[in-house]
Structure 1
Amino acid sequence: MKTVLITGANGLLGQKLVQLYDQQDGISVIATGKGENRNASGRYTYTQMDVTSKEDVSHVVSKYQPDVIINTAAMTHVDQCELDPETCWTLNVTAVENLIGACEASGSFLIQLSTDFIFDGESGPYVEDDLPNPLSKYAESKLASERLLESSNVKHAIVRTMLVYGIVHDMSRSNIILWVKKSLEEKKLIKVVNDQWRTPTLAEDLAKGCALIAEKRAEGVWHISGKDLLTPYDMAIATADFFNLDKSFIEKADGSIFTQPAKRPAKTGFILDKAKRELGYEPVSFKEGLAILKSQLAHV
């Protein structure tokens, strides 16, 4: 593996992948995004590319001939996808069609990011070959992109993940931990769901998981997440404890009190045995993830 092209390089996972690969000798990193570069400076090459444009994707992939493409570009706001299914489909499915076409010409290995939301949450945590049953437009689009890849001739891997948390270089994006921390520091009462379960994923762990798959060209479906099964309420309490903030401002809430356009699966979570056994993947605990975030915040 010599050249890695990353789509959605301005996003959380995209930035972590750029950082990870930029530190490695012998690897040329092509970071791509629709807008201006928001990554820290480095040795990588940044070029604008719109994944929804077949011509754009074909031109950039043809120019750089990457050995591996990691597609982190997507429309991930679940409720927004429900309200605007056309844009959701364009970003999450048509874009993958474009990448498949480019990879057929270049021979690139394609890693596609997917989601725990393809499952209905009735029998989590899940292994890779459990049957999907999407509950939302977002989930339907991500499952459709999986099916596209599986029916193509492109060498590929599908990486399902969930509830990714971390800090981007320019602090332009929030996440549940930063939201809880900021709210409690401002002494705001927050209601946090206690009837949905996930295995929250540190962005650095997800980047490492993708890199392990890329290095081995490990085809197929992979579940890459954190290892602790938690509710958002559990995460909020752990965040308050870790940063020595007042937990009395955190109130348990039933998911049904929130009016959200898209339905969420109740209990997902991933069983990571396959990734641990075949890739050597080992995520940090949620508490260790909080410590990593704290150290990063100290340098912002």
Structure 2
Amino acid sequence: MKKILVTGSNGLLGQKITEKVLAEGRVNLVATSKGGNRYPVKEGYVYAEMDILDPSQVSEVIEKYRPDAIIHTAAMTNVDTCEANKELCHQLNVNAVNTLLSVCEEKNIQLIHLSTDFVFDGADGPYKEEDAVNPVSYYGESKVLAEELIKNSKANWTILRTILVYGISNDMSRSNIVLWAKGALEKASPINVVNDQWRMPTLAEDLAEACLLAVEKNANGIYHISGKDYMSIADLVRKVADYWKLDHSFINEVSSASLNQTAKRPVKTGFVLDKAIKDLGYNPHSFGEGLVILEQQMKR
């Protein structure tokens, strides 16, 4: 069995990879994150503290565990925070990748890097892997810079771009659009929802599966990984309201411009998934199926 090291294992995707490995075996797991382990189950894998901004610690941990592949999920992903704090964004999303790349090159480790639909400007989605990037935010720009470093490296690499990931993590420390909408509407709180942006939301379990498939198949190159349903953000929130039988009247549809957000967002992203389906055997859930899975997890 291959040994994988996951960065950012306390995050939503990191936790879903841990969950999958514990349920299915498939690989040996070394989970790493800054600070202590927040995943409730502590057996069946190794946990090591690793700050991706500390090159000597990164080197030390990778040298100790010698993984076959690194799944790099740690990143600064809040688009407005990235715009407001470009220096920290660059450190986390670009410099940290450079650190990992140098170790991967030296030790012949496969790097699976998570990227985003925000590398595109949103003028012409859904996008294929080879379409030209043109980010409209610093977050998108930092991800393009990281992709360029990876593509120009001598490492064995895979880039998985994804869109609007949703799901439930164990400590619920960070929300996502589905949980945010459900939570607000259950409290009968009015919410402003944009009706002029289109996405293909991705179930965290599907993205975790794609990460493991990329390791197992030793995939190389860029792959687009998302859900299969294309919808506006307003449609997404209405589907959440419908599923949990919540009142639509609290959904206030607005234009992106009216929100005055720090960072600009692409209008229409979405992905053509053919390459991932063909090469990896990727088979995502529909958005409706994703909501059923979330509901089952909430009952645990």
Give TM-score, length-normalised by structure 1: 0.98
The CA deviation string for residues 119-159 of structure 1, in whole angstroms up to 9 with x for no partner, is 00000000000000011111111011100011110001000
Partner of 1:35: 35
CA-atom RMSD, angstroms?
Answer: 1.0
Deviations 1:222-255 (A, max 9, x none): 0000011111111110011100111111121111
* Secondary structure class of the residue paired with 1:23: helix
> One-letter code of the match for 2:96?
A
1:197 maps to 198
User: Is 2:237 aligned against 1:236?
Assistant: yes
Q: CA deviation at 1:40?
A: 2.2
Query: Is the counterpart of residue 173 in structure 1 residue 174 in structure 2?
Result: yes
Residue of structure 1 equivalent to 2:278? 277
In structure 1, distance between residues paired with 2:204 and 2:16: 7
Indicate if the aligned counterparts of 1:61 and 1:106 stay in contact, CA closer than 8 A.
no
1:102 Cα deviation after fit:
1.1
1:68 paired residue number = 69
Pairwise CA distance, 1:18: 1.1
Is residue 254 from structure 1 mapped to residue 255 from structure 2 by the alignment? Answer: yes
Following superposition, which runs of at least 4 residues in structure 1 exceed 3 angstroms of deviation? none
Task: Count residues with an aligned counterpart.
Answer: 299
Deviation of 1:56 (Å):
0.9
1:7 match? 7
AA of the residue aligned to 2:37: N
Q: Distance in 1 between matches of 2:71 and 2:269?
A: 24
2:141 aligns to what SS in structure 1? helix
- C-alpha distance in 2, partners of 1:93/1:247? 41
CA distance in 1: counterparts of 2:242 and 2:48, whole angstroms: 42
Structure 1 contact 66–106 (Cα < 8 Å) conserved: no
Q: Which amino acid aligns with 2:211?
A: C
Label 1:26 to 1:188 Cα distance change in 2 as closer, same or farther (>3 A).
closer
Write out per-residue CA displacement over residues 248-278 of structure 1, whole angstroms, 9 at most, x where no aligned residue.
1112111111011111100000010111111
- For 1:290, the aligned partner's letter is L
Maintained 8 Å contact 1:160/1:224: yes
**Aligned match of 2:207:** 206
The answer for unaligned runs of 5 or more in structure 2 is none
Aligned twin of 1:113: 114
Return the alpha-carbon distance in structure 1 between the equivalents of residues 220 and 86 of structure 2: 29
For residues 115 and 26 of structure 1, do their structure 2 counterparts lie closer, same or farther at Cα, with a shift above 3 Å needed? closer
Distance in structure 2 (CA, Å) of the matches to 1:20 and 1:127: 28
Once residues 193 and 94 of structure 1 are traced to their aligned partners in structure 2, the CA distance between those partners, rounded to angstroms, is: 33
Query: How many Å apart are 1:22 and its aligned residue?
Result: 2.3
Matches within 5 A, 1:81-160: 81-160=82-161
2:228 and 2:24 map into 1 onto residues whose CA distance is: 27
Q: Which position in structure 1 is the counterpart of 2:291?
A: 290
Residue of structure 1 equivalent to 2:218: 217
Q: Is the 8 A contact 1:167 1:173 kept in 2?
A: no
Distance in 1, Cα, partners of 2:185 & 2:263: 27
Corresponding letter in the other structure for 1:34: K
Instruction: Name the structure 2 match of 1:25.
Output: 25
Unaligned runs of 5+ in 1: none
Give the whole-Å Cα distance in 1 for the aligned partners of 2:7 and 2:34: 9
2: distance between equivalents of 1:21 and 1:102?
24
Q: Which amino acid aligns with 2:225?
A: I
Q: Distance in 1 between matches of 2:167 and 2:87?
A: 29
Q: 1:73 to 1:195 in 2, by over 3 A?
A: same
How far off its partner does 1:23 sit?
2.6
- Matched to 1:3, the amino acid is K
Q: Which secondary structure does the structure 1 equivalent of 2:161 belong to?
A: strand
Identity, in percent, stands at: 52
In 2, Cα distance between equivalents of 1:253 and 1:26: 45
Compute the displacement of 1:26 (Å).
6.0
